[in-house]
Amino acid sequence: LAASLTIGLWDRFPIARTVQQMMVTMERMMADPFAYSGRGRTPWEIKEVEGAYNMRFDMPGITKQNVKLWVEEKMLVVKAEKVPNKTSGGEGNGEEEEEEEWSANSYGRYSSRIALPENVQFKKIKAEVKDGVLYINIPEASISGRILDINVE
């Protein structure tokens, strides 16, 4: 019995298998680099609507107090951190303590930097967190259709 277990656990080509897995992952990333979501990356989408760009960031469990948003050198920077809730010890029943043990996955960090187009009203960007989703409205600047004559001297 022991011999059959070791044969099943032993892999004759562990390095080849690891390299193959790395190659498959790299091929997926090269096929569509925006579809690959690495660690700490925030799943988001953007839609252009009449006069604005609307963005949506999925951030389950994040509140507005944990979101920081700013524009730096025409880049929209979004950072958020979900910190586990700390409950006061000694008070509460066994159920609360049991839930506390299950909160190991209650931490998360999000970070994104997105290049903004030139035709944006940076000072009028608005953001709202609702039900674990960050919504951002980025108004477009009106493009002047006027023609300016330049005096040649």
Q: Please indicate, yes or no, whether residues 92 and 134 belong to a single structural domain of this protein.
A: yes
Highest mean pLDDT among 9-18, 63-72, 77-86: 63-72
- Rounded to an integer, what distance in angstroms lies between the CA atom of residue 76 and that of residue 17? 40
Instruction: Calculate the average pLDDT of the chain.
Output: 74
pTM, full prediction: 0.57
Amino acid making up residue 85 = N
- Rounded to an integer, what distance in angstroms lies between the CA atom of residue 85 and that of residue 99? 11
Upper half-sphere CA count for residue 31 (Cβ side, 13 Å): 8
Both structure tokens of 3: 């011999």
**Residue 4, domain extent:** 1-36
What is the secondary structure of 65-122 as a DSSP string? GGEEEEEETTEEEEEEEEPPPPPPTT-S-HHHHHHHHTGGG--EEEEEEEEPPSSB-G
Amino acid making up residue 118 = E
Q: Please indicate, yes or no, whether residues 29 and 95 belong to a single structural domain of this protein.
A: no
Name the domain count of the chain: 2
List residues bridging with 139 in a β-sheet: 52
Tell me the per-residue pLDDT of 3-58, one tens digit each, with 9 for 90 and over. 444 444 555 556 666 777 777 777 766 665 444 444 445 578 889 999 999 999 98
Give the pLDDT of residue 149: 81
Highest mean pLDDT among 35-44, 96-105, 106-115: 106-115
Is residue 95 one of the residues assigned to a domain? Answer: yes
Q: Please indicate, yes or no, whether residues 52 and 115 belong to a single structural domain of this protein.
A: yes
What is the secondary structure of 25-59 as a DSSP string? HHHHHHH-TTT---TTPPPEEEEEETTEEEEEEE-
Q: Is the pLDDT of residue 93 over 70?
A: no
Domain of 130, CATH number, reads 2.60.40.790
Average confidence (pLDDT) over 113-134 = 91
Task: Quickly count: other Cβ atoms within 10 Å of residue 57's Cβ.
Answer: 24
Q: Please indicate, yes or no, whether residues 133 and 115 belong to a single structural domain of this protein.
A: yes
